[in-house]
Chain A
Amino acid sequence: MKWEVVIGLEVHVQLNTVSKIFSGASTAFGAEPNTQASLVELALPGVLPVMNKAVVDKAIRLGLALDADINQKNVFARKNYFYPDLPKGYQISQMDLPIVEHGKLAILVGDEEKVIRVTRAHMEEDAGKSLHEDFHGMTGIDLNRAGTPLLEVVSEPDMRSPEEAVAYAKALHTLVTWLGICDGNMQEGSFRVDANVSVRPFGQAEFGTRREIKNLNSFRFLEQAIKYEIQWQIDTIEDGGKIQQATVLFDPDSGETRMMRSKEDAHDYRYFPDPDLLPVRISDEQIARIRSEMPELPGQMKARFVEQFGVSAYDAALLTSSLALAQYFEAVATATGQGKLAANWLGGEVAARLNREGLDIADCPIPAERLSGLIARVADGTLSNKLAKQVFDALWESDLSADAIIERDGLKQVSDVSAIEKMVEEAIAANPKAVEEFRAGKEKALNALAGQVMKASKGKANPAQVQEILKQKLA
């Protein structure tokens, strides 16, 4: 039987506010345990939550970027359950009337664009952390993370493969970092993904029973977990079993998913409106203000790059995978008028070097102006590709401009006809055997001669000119 995979994602996006969603405590990562837990996070008797308005602005920003509806009346609800790292015994979240509804996000799968519907995004507080290691039979509780603002972004079950799920997660990751609402640091838990996965026979209308894989904190784990889960579900059904609705965890060491709790163990969260918080009302003016502050979005910029700089759709997608890269590209392309060349360099030499050094484009030691200087010299023929790579390495190591390096190292390409003619003549004189072979019809012999000329010029002769003059002289 042929199976169709159905995937929906719930992503917890940690918002990069300075203070927590319901208190003034700091949200900085990595402090000593419990040093960033105020009276509110400790849930002392009598303390009350006060809404951090910056959270609302950031949520609206995402809503507008997803072309979604923004609910102008926002109600916070209490989600009740007991756990030691949930100090109040309830999480303040949103149930009815989430701030963002009915959005959409385009992804690229191969060359195909596909639109994934975003059901909703709601504001909520994070819980603390339970630390099970190091405490010999006891559990340590760190409440530093408690009260950190989250947006839980829920998609429709619109994805049909692990690749689509990863593409959606990456697109959302790009968007929230692009908008400046999340630092995107997946190791620190700033962007955590839950995947709802089910399979059904091709052509069947109703969905299969889903299992939810919790808390995936890298795109690689997301892909591995979904792939494993799909195979497990198919094998289970084909062996005559039935899928039970459940929550599962992915173990990166074994590459397997294992059951955390079944549907029977599911909590009744007893949601009800939090009486300690008034509804947050969002005015038309507030939405208009945030709309006016919106940056150009990745999708819009991608289309513009194709239009304005003549790059391919594929390259444009790559160049808009982060705001820093897109801005870098645009600066170089604008300064040099060489969009395709800039795209090639960014996708080639620059990407390779950054990758090798483990750096992000934002940390690139060569700023856009200096790379532009290099590309300009490639474009006007001053540098051959080979020389350009040499200059690039020198740019990386120093603060000099490309021109200064060319000058310093004498790397200017030689395009002076008489100089090249002289070298060609010398090469012909010194290699009679090759000349003979070429004249006997062996085309390859020409390359050997050209190689001699290039060697004599220390690589600086314009290779096209060398070929041309050689042919003239041997004709």
Chain B
Amino acid sequence: MINATLKQLSAQLAAGQVSAVELAAAYLDRIALLNPQLNAFITVDRAKTLAEAAAADARRAAGNATALTGVPIAHKDIFCQQGWKTSCGSKMLDNFISPYSAHVVEQCAAAGMVTLGRANMDEFAMGSSNENSFYGAVKNPWDLNAIPGGSSGGSAAAVAARLAPAATATDTGGSIRPPASHCGVTGIKPTYGAVSRFGMVGYASSLDHGGPIAQTAEDCALMLNVMAGFDERDSTSLERAKEDYTRELDQPLAGLRVGLPREYFAEGLASDVGRIIDSAVAELKKLGAEVVEVSLPNTQLSIPAYYVIAPAEASANLSRFDGVRYGHRASEYKDLVDMYEKTRAEGFGSEVKRRIMVGTYVLSHGYYDAYYIKAQKIRRLIADDFKAAFAGCDVILGPVAPTAAFNLGEKSGDPVQMYLSDIYTLSVNLAGLPAMSVPAGFADNGRPVGLQIIGNYFAEAKMLNVAHQFQQATDWHTRAPAL
């Protein structure tokens, strides 16, 4: 049961083979057993979870269950959830019990999904390794010495370790795809605006995307059916009709044009990762795909552009954490300015402080044009690169990260090395395109490696089709770590 997909759990619940309460209890027991090693959850509340599960069973008994009623889920601790601590991985919000729920949380609750707990993450989603959480690093279930990837490391590790069948997550520069890749699970971030940001604690508003992590592409499609949709409370939410993301899953791939960006297979890509991506591409060729080479010439510029725009937006988004209304406040201070300084010095971790300072600097008088405006120009160039590439292909394939998961502590002292590990994912956020990571093999050190599928705007159903067909032909996504 613990290895079941959402699809399977949905069928078992519908057939009455298991109740929501039994299911929730089984996952809670497993969390109690394994979370002390993995640290994938920040908050677990057995009583709350079982109450939600009992309500789901009652709903099913009353005859108005949805496909996912009673299916348990973990929420990344970035999504506000009424009555739950919503810490965002930060000391700043360690005492914050949210009085309201994010759109994503509401949608999951409306479907009858049961909250298993709140998944660990890098503080305010700033990090690539999940070492920046106030609650300690998440461990990779495949190798407890390895990072799980960040910032949605708790979500990915929970699904990989079968502590949850699926989890919500967010992706600002790659925070869904690298964790999914490093933990051997499937994750998708849809087109910017497809999932409402209402109630998602803001890091970099123009780059923040919500999305799911699950075992399979099919499960991700089911989750997107719940999570995506127009929400008038988010001005950047796309006003489009609700779509069924499972609709193209079973389409054959014959004639699919797969673009391989030459810049993604150049210097910097580890040879074992390169081989895994090559064999995934070969697999898709067998399924009928045609391969074309494409070019994304400004990929290298995505790192500096991202590390101007994201900190700039973050520097303002995080100003609300001032100790005045909620969250941490320094216990002793001599005046208002001292209260601000001590509160923020104590409440934020070092990576968050670094990005606030960088963001404040690039927006400062006299530097704005040289940094912020220039970065926005690069952002346009990057979007244009993708537009040109998609003129010649249906999806773009490549690695998610240059290497398999590195060791905990390996890069935590060197922010620039850490930033470089997101080279294949940042540009996608800058362009606002949908992208996903699909398990595609194991590196020489035995750690999982994901294949990245990048689609054109609103091409989620096509990407999920490619991923699903790949998963029908391979079994990487069914592998689970021994714990």
Contact between chains at B206 and A275 (CB < 8 Å) = yes
Tell me the bound Cα distance from A304 to B229 in angstroms: 55
Which of B253-261, B314-322, B383-391 lies at the binding interface? B314-322
Is B60 interfacial (CB 8 A cutoff)? Answer: no
Contact between chains at B316 and A80 (CB < 8 Å) = yes
Residues of A contacting B93 in the complex (Cβ-Cβ under 8 angstroms): 45
Tell me the bound Cα distance from A271 to B368 in angstroms: 9
Residues of A contacting B199 in the complex (Cβ-Cβ under 8 angstroms): 46-47
Is B297 interfacial (CB 8 A cutoff)? Answer: no
How far apart are B237's CB and chain A's nearest CB, in angstroms?
9
Is A356 interfacial (CB 8 A cutoff)? Answer: no
Residues of A contacting B364 in the complex (Cβ-Cβ under 8 angstroms): 268, 270
Contact between chains at A272 and B372 (CB < 8 Å) = yes
How far apart are A248's CB and chain B's nearest CB, in angstroms?
21
Contact between chains at A45 and B312 (CB < 8 Å) = no
Is B336 interfacial (CB 8 A cutoff)? Answer: yes
Contact between chains at B99 and A44 (CB < 8 Å) = yes
In the complex formed, the residue of A with least CB distance to B193 is: A278
Contact between chains at A46 and B198 (CB < 8 Å) = yes
Tell me the bound Cα distance from A83 to B336 in angstroms: 9
Report if A82-B363 is in contact (Cβ < 8 Å); known contacts: A87-B325, A275-B206, A275-B313.
no
Is A78 interfacial (CB 8 A cutoff)? Answer: yes
A-B pairs with beta carbons under 8 A, tally: 99
List B residues 309-333 near A (Cβ within 8 Å): 312-313, 315-316, 318-322, 324-326
Tell me the bound Cα distance from A271 to B363 in angstroms: 7
Contact between chains at B205 and A275 (CB < 8 Å) = yes
How far apart are B103's CB and chain A's nearest CB, in angstroms?
9
Contact between chains at B80 and A46 (CB < 8 Å) = yes
Contact between chains at B235 and A48 (CB < 8 Å) = yes
Report if A43-B313 is in contact (Cβ < 8 Å); known contacts: A82-B340, A268-B364.
no
Tell me the bound Cα distance from A276 to B363 in angstroms: 17
Looking at chain A's contact residues, is the secondary structure mostly helix, strand, loop, or mixed?
loop
Is B365 interfacial (CB 8 A cutoff)? Answer: yes
Report B348-386 CB contacts with A as 1/0, cut-off 8 Å: 000000000000100111001000100000000000000
In the complex formed, the residue of A with least CB distance to B93 is: A45
List B residues 188-241 near A (Cβ within 8 Å): 197-202, 204-206, 232-236
Is B276 interfacial (CB 8 A cutoff)? Answer: no
Contact between chains at B320 and A43 (CB < 8 Å) = yes
Contact between chains at A46 and B200 (CB < 8 Å) = yes
Is B442 interfacial (CB 8 A cutoff)? Answer: no
Residues of B contacting A277 in the complex (Cβ-Cβ under 8 angstroms): 235
Residues of A contacting B340 in the complex (Cβ-Cβ under 8 angstroms): 82
How far apart are A22's CB and chain B's nearest CB, in angstroms?
9
In the complex formed, the residue of B with least CB distance to A37 is: B325
List A residues 260-286 near B (Cβ within 8 Å): 268, 270-272, 274-278
Contact between chains at B233 and A89 (CB < 8 Å) = no
Report if A45-B88 is in contact (Cβ < 8 Å); known contacts: A39-B100, A80-B363, A268-B364.
yes
Cβ 8 A contact of A46, one of B202, B312, B318, B326: B202
How far apart are A80's CB and chain B's nearest CB, in angstroms?
6
Is A180 interfacial (CB 8 A cutoff)? Answer: no
Size bracket, chain B contacts: 35 or more
How far apart are B13's CB and chain A's nearest CB, in angstroms?
30
In the complex formed, the residue of A with least CB distance to B90 is: A45
Is B96 interfacial (CB 8 A cutoff)? Answer: yes
Tell me the bound Cα distance from A120 to B205 in angstroms: 29
Report if A84-B336 is in contact (Cβ < 8 Å); known contacts: A39-B99, A268-B364, A278-B236.
yes
Contact between chains at B319 and A90 (CB < 8 Å) = yes
List A residues 34-65 near B (Cβ within 8 Å): 39, 42-51
Contact between chains at A46 and B201 (CB < 8 Å) = yes
Report B34-63 CB contacts with A as 1/0, cut-off 8 Å: 000000000000000000000000000000
Residues of A contacting B234 in the complex (Cβ-Cβ under 8 angstroms): 48, 50
Residues of A contacting B202 in the complex (Cβ-Cβ under 8 angstroms): 45-46, 48, 276
How far apart are A202's CB and chain B's nearest CB, in angstroms?
35
Is B102 interfacial (CB 8 A cutoff)? Answer: yes
Residues of B contacting A275 in the complex (Cβ-Cβ under 8 angstroms): 204-206, 236, 313
In the complex formed, the residue of A with least CB distance to B236 is: A278
Tell me the bound Cα distance from A90 to B96 in angstroms: 21
Is B69 interfacial (CB 8 A cutoff)? Answer: no
Contact between chains at A44 and B80 (CB < 8 Å) = yes
Contact between chains at A48 and B201 (CB < 8 Å) = no
Residues of B contacting A43 in the complex (Cβ-Cβ under 8 angstroms): 320, 325
Residues of B contacting A87 in the complex (Cβ-Cβ under 8 angstroms): 320, 324-325
Is A141 interfacial (CB 8 A cutoff)? Answer: yes
Cβ 8 A contact of B96, one of A42, A45, A49, A278: A45
Report B89-103 CB contacts with A as 1/0, cut-off 8 Å: 000010010111010
Report B146-178 CB contacts with A as 1/0, cut-off 8 Å: 000000000000000000000000000000000
How far apart are A236's CB and chain B's nearest CB, in angstroms?
29
Is A88 interfacial (CB 8 A cutoff)? Answer: yes
Tell me the bound Cα distance from A141 to B93 in angstroms: 21
Residues of A contacting B197 in the complex (Cβ-Cβ under 8 angstroms): 46, 48
Report if A78-B235 is in contact (Cβ < 8 Å); known contacts: A44-B326, A45-B80.
no
Residues of A contacting B205 in the complex (Cβ-Cβ under 8 angstroms): 274-276
Tell me the bound Cα distance from A262 to B80 in angstroms: 42
In the complex formed, the residue of A with least CB distance to B88 is: A45
Report if A50-B322 is in contact (Cβ < 8 Å); known contacts: A39-B99, A272-B316.
no
Contact between chains at A45 and B320 (CB < 8 Å) = yes
Report if A89-B198 is in contact (Cβ < 8 Å); known contacts: A45-B88, A268-B364.
no
Cβ 8 A contact of B232, one of A50, A89, A141, A274: A50
Report A397-418 CB contacts with B as 1/0, cut-off 8 Å: 0000000000000000000000
Report A234-276 CB contacts with B as 1/0, cut-off 8 Å: 0000000000000000000000000000000000101110111
Cβ 8 A contact of B233, one of A44, A48, A141: A48
Tell me the bound Cα distance from A50 to B88 in angstroms: 23
Contact between chains at A80 and B198 (CB < 8 Å) = no
Is B86 interfacial (CB 8 A cutoff)? Answer: yes
Residues of A contacting B88 in the complex (Cβ-Cβ under 8 angstroms): 45
Contact between chains at B319 and A268 (CB < 8 Å) = no
Contact between chains at A42 and B236 (CB < 8 Å) = no
Tell me the bound Cα distance from A317 to B206 in angstroms: 51
Contact between chains at B324 and A78 (CB < 8 Å) = no
Contact between chains at A80 and B80 (CB < 8 Å) = no
Contact between chains at B80 and A141 (CB < 8 Å) = no
Residues of A contacting B320 in the complex (Cβ-Cβ under 8 angstroms): 43, 45, 87-89
Cβ 8 A contact of B201, one of A45, A84, A268, A272: A45
Tell me the bound Cα distance from A88 to B320 in angstroms: 4
Cβ 8 A contact of A44, one of B100, B322, B336: B100
Cβ 8 A contact of A51, one of B102, B235, B363: B235
Tell me the bound Cα distance from A39 to B462 in angstroms: 38
Tell me the bound Cα distance from A278 to B326 in angstroms: 28
List A residues 139-198 near B (Cβ within 8 Å): 141
Residues of A contacting B322 in the complex (Cβ-Cβ under 8 angstroms): 82, 84, 89
Residues of A contacting B233 in the complex (Cβ-Cβ under 8 angstroms): 48, 50
Chain B CB within 10 A, most for which of A49, A89, A268, A277? A89
Tell me the bound Cα distance from A45 to B84 in angstroms: 13
Residues of A contacting B316 in the complex (Cβ-Cβ under 8 angstroms): 78, 80, 88-90, 270, 272
How far apart are A127's CB and chain B's nearest CB, in angstroms?
13
The 8 listed contacts between A and B (C-beta, < 8 Å) are A45-B93, A80-B316, A80-B363, A84-B324, A88-B319, A90-B316, A270-B360, A277-B235
Using a CB–CB distance below 8 Å, which chain A residues touch chain B? 39, 42-51, 78, 80, 82, 84, 87-90, 141, 268, 270-272, 274-278
> Other CB < 8 Å A-B pairs besides A45-B321, A90-B316, A277-B235, 11 of them?
A44-B99, A44-B326, A48-B202, A89-B319, A89-B320, A141-B325, A270-B315, A270-B363, A272-B316, A272-B372, A275-B204
